[in-house]
Amino acid sequence: MTDLNDKELEIRRIDPRLYNDDLAPIKKRDRNWGWFEIFNVWSNDIQSLFGYTLAASLFISYGLNGWAVMAAIILAGVVVMGLVNLTGKPSVKYGVPFPVMIRASMGVHGANLPAMLRAVIGIFWYGVQTYFTSTAMKLLLTSLFGDPGGQFLGMSALGWLSFVIVWAFQMAMFWAGIERIKHFLNWAGPLVYVVMVALMIIVWVKAGDELLPAVGSIFEGQSDYHGSAIGAFMAITGTMIAYFAAVVINFGDFTRFVKSEREMKLGNLVGLPLNVAFFSFIALIITAGTLVLFGETLTNPSDIIERVDSLPLTIIAALTFFAATVGINLVANFIPPAYDLANLFPSKISFRLGGLITAIIAFFVGALWVSVISDIGVAGFVNALGAIVAPFYGIIVVDYYVVKRQRLDLQDMFSSAPDGAYHYVKGWNKRAIAAFALAALFSIASVWVPALEALGGYAWLIGAGLGGGFYFLLMRGQRLPAVQAA
């Protein structure tokens, strides 16, 4: 098969139920993302308000030495880098998004199952991140105009106004297109680091010279966790991997814009292990500093900045945290569901319409975060969502690298012909569905069943491993259509 990234797909092979311009492969000459854009995907992800809150909460949740928690978070960054290098490579090669790529393993119609599950998870994350972004906007508005008070579903009138402003701003950014979002990310990520370093220095100076020597023991006694130190270390690593899980699964949605595999890998190296190491050090110092200064650990940067009581810092920090969280929300939680919904009915749902549906549903998710959804708990919420889609990671990787040996047929990804390589049985690969069901049952149980509670932090890794393992076993001996190398 010739490389179809630089020429049109043959019209006779395209099924309009599987194709639209948003799902079509991007030609290599039209790709303009480099390592810096990939770096900023990750920097905005971890630097978002929710990302900081999760990282800070891990320092106080297990009663571990602060440096050990930091090492666990860095280890998660290394693992995630290896995972996304695997899922990103196929889309760099073929230029198609996640819901099209997974047709190779699930079938041209069966791909709608992982796509819709991923869409549901993305919509939930989008709503939650919209709420967290609104806390930065509320901080800004409160510092300028004060808060009149009043409460409804856990938010004040000013909180609701901030939430609506953020929701509308994100929708406007999405409507402006992927290039505008890319430029937004490229300045938001570095700027947030400037503010985070400034906040760290302020907290460090106020806490005094004894802060750094104390970070090893300052969190002891801050947790009710009674497991082993090794168990706590691995649970922290697993939880951080689960935090990145949604992006790990559909990383092809971004790498389809990247110029080369080398650019992707460099961006992942700088954006994950190195970026996570620096960020976790900042989070460690700030979280320990709040315990020294205020007698309690504050995990939301908005609360910390409010306590510092500096109007210039408040305004700058609110704007930059707003920018970072909006950026990653658009890239990680808005664009993927838009693609996934478009994949459901390509002839009826465009990328933009999919985004509009995402925004409307996510509005209600974010609105109910404080009063309802947050009661689930941050770590449990992250692990449960990650567990649902985890098996698809193993299925994608095993299918592409082991079963298909890195050779796919782009034509047949958009064809429902019975003799197509990915038609299987009426467009569904029943073996892949069975592998997903078996693996998902166990990975979800590891989060919700009390007897398996000790495995909760590893839910994503267990689900991914089982998904790939079951898929490999079920596909053994399965005769596949011959596919020429691209």
Instruction: Please spell the DSSP secondary structure of 419-430, one letter per residue.
Output: TSTT-TBTTB-H
Would you report the helix, strand and coil content of the chain in percent, each value rounded to 5? 75, 0, 25
Q: 28 or 4, which is more confident? A: 28
Whether domain 4-386 has CATH 1.10.4160.10: yes
What pLDDT, in 10s, does the model give residues 372-396?
A: 777 766 556 666 666 788 899 999 9
pLDDT at 486: 45
Evaluated on CA atoms 467, 383, 55, 149, the torsion sign reads: positive
Record the pTM. Answer: 0.84
Interval 38-55 mean pLDDT? 81
Q: 211 or 255, which is more confident? A: 255
Residue 450 has pLDDT above 60, yes or no: yes
pLDDT at 245: 80
Percent of the chain at pLDDT exceeding 90: 34
Residue 20 has pLDDT above 50, yes or no: yes
DSSP letter for each residue of 401-469: IIISTT---HHHHT---TTSTT-TBTTB-HHHHHHHHHHHHHHHHHHH-GGGGGGGGGHHHHHHHHHHH
| 68, HSE (Cβ side, Cα atoms, 13 Å) | 20
pLDDT at 456: 61
- On whether the CB atoms of residues 232 and 62 are closer than 8 A, the answer is yes
User: Residue ranges of the domains in the chain?
Assistant: 4-386
pLDDT band at 218 (very low <50, low <70, confident <90, very high): low
Percent of the chain at pLDDT exceeding 70: 90
pLDDT band at 3 (very low <50, low <70, confident <90, very high): very low
What pLDDT, in 10s, does the model give residues 79-101?
A: 999 999 999 999 999 999 999 99
Residue 473 has pLDDT above 90, yes or no: yes
Inter-helix orientation angle 301-308/311-328, to 10°: 170
pLDDT band at 161 (very low <50, low <70, confident <90, very high): very high
Residue 140 has pLDDT above 70, yes or no: yes
Phi/psi of residue 23, nearest 5 degrees: -90, -15
Query: What distance in Å separates the CA atoms of residue 189 and residue 194, rounded to the nearest whole number?
Result: 9
Residue 453 has pLDDT above 90, yes or no: no
Interval 294-302 mean pLDDT? 75
H/E run at residue 190? helix 178-207
Residues 6+ apart with CB under 8 A from 149: 156, 157
pLDDT at 464: 93
pLDDT at 10: 55
Q: 267 or 11, which is more confident? A: 267
pLDDT at 427: 94
Chain position carrying tokens 């079509």: 24
pLDDT at 485: 42
Interval 300-323 mean pLDDT? 75
